[in-house]
């Protein structure tokens, strides 16, 4: 088990708020367990428009990070919404979350359920104790 929060990078490969939505749920529901960030890898201009102000690490809502190899190295897990692109060859574990069609259920419910499942798995591995937060 990690001695720190798990660093999760949520990536959207198409325009839209999927990465931000998932990261916001991760922060709101599991900030004791997860350190979420989000990036847009759809197109360079989309990534530039989605600048997000961020917050100091460990406090506040998830922060937007630029798409780069360094960002991939930072993450313990990459969660992709949309098809991964070939240049994503990385040793960082990657999971793909494809939201259902709008008629089945809402995208927000989908991402919330996935994040709750991720947190539940971490709790099981740690036997219920979240990692310690560093202060200062």
Lowest mean pLDDT among 22-31, 38-47, 86-95: 38-47
Q: Backbone phi, then psi, for 119, in 5-degree steps?
A: -65, -40
Asked if residues 75 and 92 have their Cβ atoms less than 8 Å apart, the reply is yes
- Residues 91-123: pLDDT tens digits? 888 888 888 766 556 888 889 999 999 999 988
Q: Element (H or E) spanning 115, and its range?
A: helix 107-126
pLDDT band at 124 (very low <50, low <70, confident <90, very high): confident
pLDDT in tens, 52-89: 333 334 455 677 888 777 888 889 999 988 766 656 66
Q: Where are the domains of the chain?
A: 6-126
- CA distance readout (Å), 10 to 13, 39, 43, 58, 132: 10, 6, 16, 16, 23
Residue 100: DSSP 8-state = P
User: Among positive and negative, which fits the CA dihedral 48, 95, 4, 24?
Assistant: positive
**CATH number given to 6-126:** 3.40.50.2300
Dist. CA 65–CA 134, nearest whole Å: 21
Q: For residues 63 and 75, what is the distance between their CA atoms, to the nearest angstrom? A: 13
């Amino acid at each position: 088990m990690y001695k720190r929060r798990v660093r999760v990078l949520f990536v959207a490969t198409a325009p839209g708020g999927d990465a931000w939505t998932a990261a916001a749920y991760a922060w709101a529901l599991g900030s004791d367990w997860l350190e979420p960030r989000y990036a847009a890898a759809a197109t360079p201009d989309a990534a530039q428009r989605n600048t997000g102000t961020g917050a100091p690490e460990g406090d506040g809502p998830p922060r937007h990070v630029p798409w780069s190899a360094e960002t991939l190295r930072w993450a313990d897990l990459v969660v992709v919404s949309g098809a991964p692109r070939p240049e994503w060859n990385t040793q960082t574990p990657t999971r793909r979350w494809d939201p259902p069609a709008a008629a089945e259920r809402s995208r927000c419910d989908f991402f919330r359920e996935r994040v709750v499942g991720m947190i539940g798995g971490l709790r099981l591995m740690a036997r219920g104790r979240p990692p310690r937060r560093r202060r200062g």
